[in-house]
Amino acid sequence: MSSHPASVPLERISPVSAVRSQSARASLKGQQTKAVIVEAALGLATQIGLEGLSIGVLAEVTRMSKSGVFAHFGSREELQISVIREYFSRFEQEIFYPALHEPRGLPRVKALFGNWMKRVAVEIQSGCIFISGAVEFDDRPGPVRDALATSVQTWLNGLHRAVVLAKQCGHLRPDADEQQMAFEIHGLILALHYEARFLKNPGSIERANAGFQNILVRYGVDASTA
């Protein structure tokens, strides 16, 4: 008699295991489909704004049924919020996290601004959801506005912390106003979007970079920190 254990017949496979396996595959497929929809929605939102998004439009773009798209979000509002979350995730990956590899202080502040400028150079053509969304939802309370405001405030808090650390490292004047400095850096980005994307004024990127250098000189311990 063979000492090797007999193979388990297929009919003896646990029904529970089979159901779990099928459920896991269905869940993975659902996540992949949702990611495709969010990707398409993100591309549309940069062009037509969050308000332009709808279940019907996404169904047409992704060649899915309206009920299929709806099943992944449940509402237009949830679709918009999902787009905001994805946009913020990419914003962090491109701007914030790479800067954390730089030493604390002005090197990190410079990296944040430099990464931000790289993204703006692209968004001058494609548009920024944070900026267009602020125009669309600034006076419209609700979950979408909350998601937008939370994302922007989280990013600005990170910028402010970087400036505070720069002061603690001795890279800024002892009397430097960290909140004011962060405000001015943010202001440069907003001005750049307006000048370059809306007015299409040439040289806007160069002026934004020059403005940042002026900020470093004014708040730095001396001009050499720039």
Report the DSSP beta bridge partners of residue 172: 220
Distances (CA, A) of 115 to 21, 35, 223: 43, 25, 23
Walking along the chain (226 residues) 10 residues at a time, the average pLDDT comes out as 50 57 61 89 90 89 88 91 95 95 96 95 88 92 96 96 97 97 97 93 96 97 56
Distances (CA, A) of 207 to 2, 119, 171, 186, 204: 83, 16, 24, 14, 5
Report the distance separating Cα 38 and Cα 16, nearest Å.
32
Report the distance separating Cα 69 and Cα 47, nearest Å.
20
Report the distance separating Cα 164 and Cα 221, nearest Å.
14
Report the distance separating Cα 179 and Cα 172, nearest Å.
13
- 174 phi and psi, to 5 degrees? -60, -30
Locus of tokens 């595959």: 25
**pLDDT value, residue 226:** 41
For the chain, domain boundaries: 81-219
**pLDDT value, residue 224:** 44
**Model pTM score:** 0.81
**pLDDT value, residue 222:** 73
What fold does the segment set 81-219 form as a domain?
A: Tetracycline Repressor; domain 2 (1.10.357)
**pLDDT value, residue 20:** 62
- 172 phi and psi, to 5 degrees? -120, 160
